[in-house]
Amino acid sequence: MKICQSTYRSDAWESIRIDEGFSSEKAQLVIVFGERKLFEQMQVYSKVREDFPHAEIVINSTAGEIFNTGVETQTIVVTALQFENTQIKTTQISISDTSESYQAACQLVEALQADDLVHIMVISDGGVVNGSALVRALNEHTSPHVTVTGGLAGDDDRFEKTLVGLNAEPSEGKIIGIGFYGSHLRIGHGTMGGWDVFGPEREITQSQYNVLYSIGGKPALELYKEYLGKYAKDLPGAALLFPLSMRVDADSAPVVRTILSIDEKQQSMTFAGEIPKGALIRFMKANFDNLLDASSEAAENALQSLSFKPELAILISCVGRRLVLGYRTEEELEAAREVFGPETCITGFYSYGEISPLMAEAKCDLHNQTMTITTFTEI
């Protein structure tokens, strides 16, 4: 695999890396992560298409752009890939309502299906799409040997709209699937949160999609405030420090759910992901050292199936982690770099939801407040 990477910042493009033997004419896939408002002001796709005339070009807005061990919010990061023995195919599905998410994912998998398909990376709108329904369809329709990772686009901390595009200027309501084919590509993945849980596990007794109304028969927001204590006065901002751990049932592994907003009148909470009735939840709190250690663990997990360091690592972390970690955010990127070493090319973005398996042989899940890492190496 040969890689070329560049950034746009302060009104100028800058080349960061270009591997020996890389040819812009032979690049097969270009991934573009960037600030939503820059995409609206510039013809980014047109510029990237001029540079890489034959590549599949995937673009999405972010809540922070990752390159190497840096994260910024007013940049564009372009990573072009030239594979030696791996084929790439892409597809894009458009939706206008969250209810279309499941069927859209079914169509996405159908378009990419093939005997030699080994991995699907999904880049999805982060506002219109129901990420939980998206993941459910991906799991139901992919073969056991096909891994799935990806994330939901972001919009800094504005939560206004997100933009995604395939071979076109990005827009709302798009879901992109990137299929990787062949026997020469080795994929690694890792996911870790690093939050501390506290209090007993309780059952969700009333909810609708991503709105939680009651826990154990008690109004959800009332109970949440009891556990937050003195921090309750700082809601809704304090909610980033206290997400929920959720298990769909007693046999499921826990995933993290971020609180997006609260409703004092209905005593309800709205989450970045489905939170179904009957699920089991526990409260969580931020532990800064554990959050940073989680990045190292995710990177280590991504290397478990490999006997060598990866050529490319795509890091997708949650906007909530960036907002909680603040000035320490780059430490979680540095932690990953320490695991991978200096040669691995690192890119990625802060998202409104992360898609990755929890364990090596598991199907993918929708996560919030996690660091997810996907690694790629050709042999």
**Each residue of 129-179: pLDDT tens digit?**
988 899 999 999 999 899 999 999 999 988 899 999 999 999 999 999 999
Rounded to an integer, what distance in angstroms lies between the CA atom of residue 350 and that of residue 61? 9
Q: What is the mean pLDDT of residues 232-257?
A: 89
Q: Which H/E stretch holds residue 251?
A: none
Taking Cα atoms as reference points, which of 44, 27, 26 lies closest to residue 35?
44
Number of Cβ atoms within 10 Å of the Cβ of 333:
22
Q: What is the mean pLDDT of residues 109-120?
A: 97
State residue 361's pLDDT score.
Answer: 67
Higher per-residue pLDDT: 253 or 5: 5
How does the average pLDDT of the chain come out, rounded?
A: 93
Residue 305 has pLDDT above 80, yes or no: no
Q: What is the mean pLDDT of residues 194-206?
A: 93
State residue 154's pLDDT score.
Answer: 95
Residue 116 has pLDDT above 90, yes or no: yes
Q: Are 348 and 147 in contact (CB under 8 A)?
A: no
Higher per-residue pLDDT: 235 or 65: 65
State residue 359's pLDDT score.
Answer: 75
Q: What is the mean pLDDT of residues 372-378?
A: 96
Rounded to an integer, what distance in angstroms lies between the CA atom of residue 2 and that of residue 292? 30
Whole-number percent of the chain with pLDDT over 90? 80
State residue 61's pLDDT score.
Answer: 98
Rounded to an integer, what distance in angstroms lies between the CA atom of residue 255 and that of residue 312? 26
